[in-house]
Amino acid sequence: MESNFDVASIRKQFPILEQKVYGQPLVYLDNAATTQKPRCVVKRIEEAYFSHNANVHRAVHLLSQQATEAHEGARVVVQGFINAAESDEIVFTRGTTESINLVAFSFGEAFCREGDEILISSMEHHSNIVPWQLLCERKKMVLKVIPINDDGCLLLDEYAKLLGPKVKLLAITQISNVLGVENALGPIIELAHKQGIPVLVDGAQAVAHRPVDVQALDADFYTFSSHKIFGPTGVGVLYAKRFFLEKMPPYQGGGEMIDQVHFEKTTYNQIPFKFEAGTPDFIGTAALAEALRFIQKIGMDNIHAYERQLTDYALKELGKVEGFQLLGNIPDRHAIIPFQLKGIHAYDVGMMLDKLGIAVRTGHHCAQPLLERLGTGPCVRASFAFYNTTEEVYRLAAALRRIYKMFN
Ligand code: PMP
């Protein structure tokens, strides 16, 4: 594989990748679950705790001002990273899951009534299914699902038929965490908007792999998790258009989200603070900003191109392994390869790969309805980040050959 991408020097920024597991150099291919952290992110956390740790927004003293500047500065970095129109449209949460739950609750309160419908797709992660089921139970609404074909692609004609005046929101993933397929969000969102239906995009598997422009997408809501984009755990992002944030009621009550509190009546803070009750993870947000700056320096387009080459190379190499069965028939996969080894349970494959130093994910990948639809049962998922190499792909292919031989 030819590439100008300097993966060797990038890897030096990720000390965890240098270690051995069971005496073998670690091959970390579980990036769709969580990514590793570069030195600058961990350094940022240490620096924040050691030199300007103080609660944000509240005090007049210097440390608090510094912490507040870092936290609010991070909001601007996120805004720039996904090209939101204003930083007030960036709400910090604990992760994609909380971002979606926030919308399901607050949007549901403001815009939904008994008999209304929410539309999702067959390939959603559980965190883009269950919050909508809870809303539907609470409000006596109906959850509708866009079907997929046997290849694992959305049936867009069926999607068009499901749209209608009862649909209050479409919630859909940009890239499937199992199949790696990217949905054609441009036309999908355009069609929904033609009928006045807002769209929430689950970007958890997209932001670390391709440039994202929420204004170009015209997404009404966009969600992602810091830990999947080389930032710390426990921080997430909800982008929402001002129009919706202004209309939606608070999700949780407490400090930060209030304007005036009286026992008779409380008024709320302006957006985005209205949705950020309690002390935010201000150290985490500053570290997330560091991660975003780090990948911006490498360049999202460069990352996208490198990972595309790596994924294509992996598909070719793994395709030569006897017994290798790829899930779905997707024209263009994004850094995710789901598979089975013929006749061998996915857990056995995963456990043996682990002993050979290769970390992958096995199971239903929090997308049980998708695997049920594909009729495959549990599978193995190898997922890449820009620090993975062709050599690692080669080791995965060699390990799978060895496992297949052992079982046959
Ligand atoms: N959506 C998708 C597509 C995901 O892959 C994940 C994480 N696997 C989530 C949502 C949930 O993310 P988190 O657990 O960070 O909230």
The pLDDT of residue 43:
98
Q: Residues 291, 306: one domain? A: no
Determine which residue's CA is closest to atom 14 belonging to ligand 1: 97
List the catalytic residue out of 136, 153, 366, 379.
366
The pLDDT of residue 2:
52
**35, 225, 361, best to mutate for ligand 1 pocket (most atoms within 8 Å of CB):** 225
Instruction: Please state the three-class secondary structure of the chain as a single string.
Output: CCCCCCHHHHHCCCHHHHCEECCEECEECECCCCCCCCHHHHHHHHHHHHHCCCCCCCCCCHHHHHHHHHHHHHHHHHHHHHCCCCHHHEEEECCHHHHHHHHHHHHHHHHCCCCCEEEEECCCCHHHCHHHHHHHHHHCCEEEEECECCCCCECHHHHHHHCCCCEEEEEEECECCCCCEECCHHHHHHHHHHCCCCEEEECCCCCCCCCCCHHHHCCCEEEEEHHHHCCCCCCEEEEECHHHHHHCCCCCCCCCCEEEECCCCEEECCCCHHHCCCCCCHHHHHHHHHHHHHHHHHCHHHHHHHHHHHHHHHHHHHHCCCCEEECCCCCCECCEEEEEECCECHHHHHHHHHHCCEECEEECCCCHHHHHHHCCCCEEEEECCCCCCHHHHHHHHHHHHHHHHHHC
Domains in the chain, number? 2
- Residue that finishes a domain, picked among 252, 279, 296: 296
Respond yes or no: is residue 153 known to be catalytic: no
Q: Ligand 1 pocket, 206 CB below 6 A?
A: no
The pLDDT of residue 58:
78
The pLDDT of residue 1:
59
- Ranges of the chain with pLDDT below 70: 1-3
Q: What is the CATH number of the domain that holds 378?
A: 3.90.1150.10
Distance 88 CA to ligand 1 centre (A): 24
The pLDDT of residue 402:
98
Question: What is the reported pTM?
Answer: 0.97
- 2 domain-assigned: no
Determine which residue's CA is closest to atom 8 belonging to ligand 1: 33
Q: Ligand 1 pocket, 31 CB below 6 A?
A: no
The pLDDT of residue 4:
72
Q: Residues 270, 361: one domain? A: no
Q: Residues 61, 204: one domain? A: yes
The pLDDT of residue 394:
98
Q: What is the CATH number of the domain that holds 280?
A: 3.40.640.10
- 391 domain-assigned: yes
Which pLDDT tens digit goes with each residue over 374-400?
998 899 999 999 999 999 999 999 999
Domain region containing 143: 42-296
Which pLDDT tens digit goes with each residue over 69-120?
999 999 999 999 999 999 999 999 999 999 999 999 999 999 999 999 999 9
- Residue that finishes a domain, picked among 296, 317, 336: 296
Distance 200 CA to ligand 1 centre (A): 14
